[in-house]
Structure formats: C-alpha cells, structure tokens
C-alpha cells in the first residue's frame, strides 16, 4: 500500500459540495492500493502513519507523531497513486488493485484506524472528491509497504 502524507493545519474532503470529512492539525493521507496488497500491508501502513514523527517538538525538530500532538488523520482513497508512470504521457493502472479489492483494504484500514486513534475522518471510496488542505511546512512524505514504488525499475 502507498500513502502520500501531508502534515496539515487543516484539511477537508467534499463530495458534490457536501463536507464528508475534515480535520484540523494532523495528517492528510492519500491512500493507494496495489494488486498484491493484503491486510498485513494495511496494518503496517497504519502503524507507520500513526508513528511517523513529522510534528515539531520544543526544539523545532520533527520528533512527535500525530498522537503526541492530538492531531487528526484524514484518510482519502486515491487509486492514481498506484499508477505506472515509467513511460509515455498517460499513466497505466495495471499495478493498481481492482476496485473491489481496493475498497476492502481501504475499509479495513479505516476500521483499524478508528480502533487505534481517536480522531479519524475519511473521504468516500470511489467518489469524485474535492480535497482542500493547508500543508504545514510544507511537509509531504511518500510511505509504502513494499520495497519499490509502482513504476520503479
């Protein structure tokens, strides 16, 4: 699984202009699911999301995780993260999970996240979403549960 994470001061997701998920300070995580991903990958990704130290401590160093700062976690499915972009000018999606498999793993990730962290918000799987955010820093990282990213040699 893949997560493009951004440290935010606020983030929200809307579907057809309706607000469906929002957080203040925390992490916006765009989630991509690949064909071979399993619940074990979702568990590993969640562990990293919650433990990743991207918030400043008293000395201004990135030493605190989202729980330590009382932050929220906004999870938004984004199949385009699993695109193969090695050649051409149009992405290929052979590395992305089928929609049914991706939905199952995304839903599993959300359930596990809600059990592990008090402030979880989500987008709507498969919907045309509008995501707004204020990236704090900016701070953005690419996390994945496999050794190589899609499109890597």
Positions annotated as catalytic residues are 78-80
What share of residues in the chain are helix, strand, coil (percent, to 5)?
25, 40, 35
Burial of 134 (0-12, 13-18, 19+ CB in 10 A): middle
Query: Using CA atoms in the order 111, 112, 116, 120, what is the torsion angle rounded to 10 degrees?
Result: -40
CB 29 within 8 A of CB 72: no
Confirm if 78 and 142 have CB atoms less than 8 A apart.
Answer: no
């Amino acid at each position: 699984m893949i997560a493009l994470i951004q440290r935010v001061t606020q983030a929200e997701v809307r579907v057809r202009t309706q607000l469906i998920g929002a957080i203040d300070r925390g992490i916006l995580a765009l989630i991509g699911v690949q064909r071979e991903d399993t619940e074990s990958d979702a568990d590993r990704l969640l562990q990293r999301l919650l433990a990743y130290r991207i918030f400043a401590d008293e000395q201004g160093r990135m030493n605190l995780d989202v729980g330590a700062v009382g932050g929220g976690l906004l999870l938004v499915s984004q199949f385009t993260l699993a695109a193969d972009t090695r050649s051409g000018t149009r992405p290929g999606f052979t590395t992305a999970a089928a929609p049914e498999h991706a939905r199952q793993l995304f839903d599993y990730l959300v359930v596990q996240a809600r059990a592990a962290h008090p402030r979880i918000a989500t987008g709507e799987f498969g919907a045309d979403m509008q995501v707004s955010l204020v990236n704090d820093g900016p701070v953005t990282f690419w996390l994945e549960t496999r050794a190589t990213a899609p499109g890597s040699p």
